[in-house]
Structure 1
Amino acid sequence: MTGFFHETAFYGTDDDFLAHAVPFLEDGLRAGEPSVVACSEQNTELLRGTLGRTGVIFRPGTGQYSRPSEAIANYLDLFREYTAGGAQQMRVIGQVPHPGTGARWDWWARYEAAVNQAYAEFPVWGLCPYDTRTTPADVLADVVSTHPNIATAPGTHEANPGYRAGLASSPPLPDVLEEGVPLVELVDPAAGTVREAVGNAIDGMDLDEEAAHDAVYAASEIVTNGLTHGVAPVRFRLWADGARVVLAVTDHGPGPSDPTAGLVPTTETRSAGLGLWILHRTCDYVSMGRDADGFTVRVSVGGQT
C-alpha cells in the first residue's frame, strides 16, 4: 500500500467492534507494521482484554482527539517518526468524537475530510469505526461521504460508493449564546478597532489572562481574514456570558475551498491558513461554513461549548 487508505466501519455491538478491529491489528502485527489504537476507553479495554500483551501502541482517545488540529499534528509527527525508522506500512484505529460522545461535530467532520489530503504522503491504513448505537444519523452520513473506503463486514475492504471528495456536508451550528443580542456588533471594522472593542467587552469577565489574550487575538485574526480574503460587508459580532466568549465574523465570499484550511500546520503567511491554524490550536472551538447569511468563522473561548 502507498499513501493513506482511509476506511470506515459501522458496528452495533461490542462483538462487532472486535470482529473489525482484532484481525486488523493482528494482521498488522504479524506483518511487523506499527499498529496504533486511539479509541474510547471502553473499546480500548475491550481490545486490551482480547489481545493481551502485544505490540499494539495504545494512545488515550481523549488525548489524541482533543481537537482536530492537535490530532493531525500529533499523527503527522507519529507517521514521520515511524517512516524515518523504516516503516513501510502503518495501521491506526481511531475513534473521532461526535455528539453521541458529547462533542461538537462540524469541526470533526472537517477533520475526517481533511485527513484524506493531510496524510496522503504516508503509507497508513486508517480504520475509523463508528458505533451505530450512539452516533447520530447525520454524523453517519458525513462519515460515509468522507471515507473513500468502507468495511461493510469484518474482513471486507471496498471502495466506498458514497464517498464525496472535498468538504463534509454538516453545516456549522450557531452557538447557544447567539440566541441573545450581541454585546458588540461592527461592520467592516479595522482590526485595531476590533481588538479594542473586545478588550473592553471582556474586561471583568471570569477569564484567565491566557483566555483573554486568545479572545482578542482570535477576534483580530478572523476580522483580518474576512477583510483580506472575504467579500464585503464583513460583520463582526461578540456574545459573552461571563465565563465564555463567542466571536463570529461573516462575509459574503465563498470561504476557503481547501478542506485542510486551519487544520494542518503551515508557514504560509500570504494565505488565510496560518491564522486559521493558530485559532484551531488556541481556541476551545472553531467552526467555518456557509449559510444563508454568508461565510462565517465562529470561535469560542473559555468555559464549555
Structure 2
Amino acid sequence: MTAQTAEPFVHPALFYRGEKEYLHGTVPFIQDGLRAGEPVAVAVPGPNLAILKTALGDDAADVRFLDMTEAGRNPGRIIPKVLRAFADAHRDTRVRIIGEPIWVGRSSVEYPACVQHEALINPAFEGREVTILCPYDAARLDEQVLADAYATHPVVISGGQERRSTAYAPARVVAHYNQPLAQAAASEELGYDADRLPSARHFAVERAAELGLSGIRLEDVALIVAELTTNSVVHGGGSGTIRVWSDADQVVLEVRDHGYLSDPLAGRRPATRDQQGGRGLLLVHYLSDLVRIHTGPDGTAIRCYISR
C-alpha cells in the first residue's frame, strides 16, 4: 500500500465485491502488518469476522478480533472504544486496524452517524502512526454510501487499484450530515433547569419503564439523562427540554437546549486518567445503541436510542 509512506496516518477505503475480493484486500494487509511487527486489530461484522479467521489460519492467533455489530453498534463509540483503545495500547509502534462500520442492514437512521464517524477518524488520528483500512461492500451498498466513502477517505482501493480520492472532504461531510432531526411522534415533554434535574431524570426513567425497559437498561437511561441534562445547565444555556418515546424495538430519549457543540469530536475522545470533567458525552455514547446529534446557533438536540 504505497500511500503508507506519504504521512503517518493512513486511512484507505477498500471497495470489495464478493468474498474473494474481500479476502484479497484484507488478508495481505493483516499479514504484512504481522510480518512488520505491527499490532493488528480487526473490527468487522460477524460473518466477515468468521471468513477472515478461517483465511488467516494460524496467523489469526496474533490478531485482535472484534465484532463490529456489537462493539460499533453505536458509531459514536467506535473511535474511543475500538480504534483509540487499540492504538493507545500500542503507542510505541505503528498499528494496523481494519474497521468496517457500514454494512448492509445499517438503517437510514444510523447512517448519518456512521458517515460522520468515518469523516471524524481523520482529525482524530492526524499525525498518529496508524493505518485504518475500511472495507465497503461495493456490490450491495447504496451508491450514496460509496460516494461518501470517497469524501471521507483520502485513498480508495477498488479492483486491486489504489487511487487518491479527488473528492476527499471530511469536514464537509460532517457539516452536511449535521441535519435537523426529523420530528418524532407526539410525546410528552418536560422542561428542566438546575432545580429540576432530579425531576427530568425521574420523568425519563418512568417513561422508559412504561415503554418496556427494565433492569440495567433503566439504569443506563438514568445515567444518560443525568449527563445530558447537567450539560444543558452548565453549557447549554441553563435549561432544556426532554422527551421519551418508543420507536420499534427501541426507546428513544431526546434532550434539547440552547448550547452549541463546536467540537465535532466531543464525546469521541477517550478520557485520560487525570481528566477533570468532559466525560459526560463520552459516557452517553458508551451507554447508547445509537446517538444522533444536531447542533447549530439556535441550539443542540441529542437523541439517544436504547434497545429493549
Following TM superposition, the consecutive aligned residue runs of length 4 or more in structure 1 with deviations greater than 6 angstroms are none
How far 1:128 moved relative to its partner? 0.3
Cα RMSD, aligned residues only? 3.4
Answering whether residue 130 of structure 2 is matched by residue 117 of structure 1, we say no
Judge which range, 199-208 or 160-169, deviates more.
199-208
The whole-number CA distance in structure 2 between the counterparts of 1:18 and 1:42 is 13
Which of 79, 86, 89 is equivalent to 1:78?
A: 86
Aligned match of 1:298: 303
Which of 102, 106, 110 is equivalent to 1:102?
A: 106
Q: After TM superposition, list the pairs within 5 Å mapping 1:225-304 onto structure 2.
A: 225-230=231-236, 234-240=240-246, 244-253=250-259, 255-266=260-271, 268-269=275-276, 273-290=278-295, 295-303=300-308
Aligned match of 1:65: 72
Judge which range, 39-48 or 255-264, deviates more.
39-48
The whole-number CA distance in structure 2 between the counterparts of 1:163 and 1:82 is 28
Answering whether residue 177 of structure 2 is matched by residue 170 of structure 1, we say yes
Which of 24, 28, 31 is equivalent to 1:23?
A: 28
Answering whether residue 225 of structure 2 is matched by residue 219 of structure 1, we say yes
Given residue 75 of structure 1, which amino acid in structure 2 is its aligned partner?
Answer: L
Same amino acid, percent of matched pairs: 27
TM-score, normalization by structure 2: 0.78
Kept after mapping to 2: 8 A contact 1:184/1:201? no
Which secondary structure state, in structure 1, belongs to the residue aligned with residue 218 of structure 2? helix
Given residue 154 of structure 2, which amino acid in structure 1 is its aligned partner?
Answer: P
Kept after mapping to 2: 8 A contact 1:10/1:131? yes
The whole-number CA distance in structure 2 between the counterparts of 1:278 and 1:25 is 31
The whole-number CA distance in structure 1 between the counterparts of 2:257 and 2:192 is 10
The whole-number CA distance in structure 2 between the counterparts of 1:37 and 1:151 is 18
The whole-number CA distance in structure 1 between the counterparts of 2:226 and 2:20 is 50
Inter-CA distance 200–63: structure 2 relative to 1 (3 Å threshold): closer
For these two proteins, the number of residue pairs brought into alignment is 293
Which secondary structure state, in structure 1, belongs to the residue aligned with residue 115 of structure 2? helix
Answering whether residue 46 of structure 2 is matched by residue 41 of structure 1, we say yes
TM-score, normalization by structure 1: 0.79
Gaps of 5+ in 1: none
What CA deviation, in whole Å up to 9, does each residue of 1:258-296 have, x standing for no partner?
2221122235555xx421111111122211124898531
Inter-CA distance 35–246: structure 2 relative to 1 (3 Å threshold): closer
Gaps of 5+ in 2: none
Aligned match of 1:8: 13
Aligned match of 1:150: 156
Which secondary structure state, in structure 1, belongs to the residue aligned with residue 279 of structure 2? helix
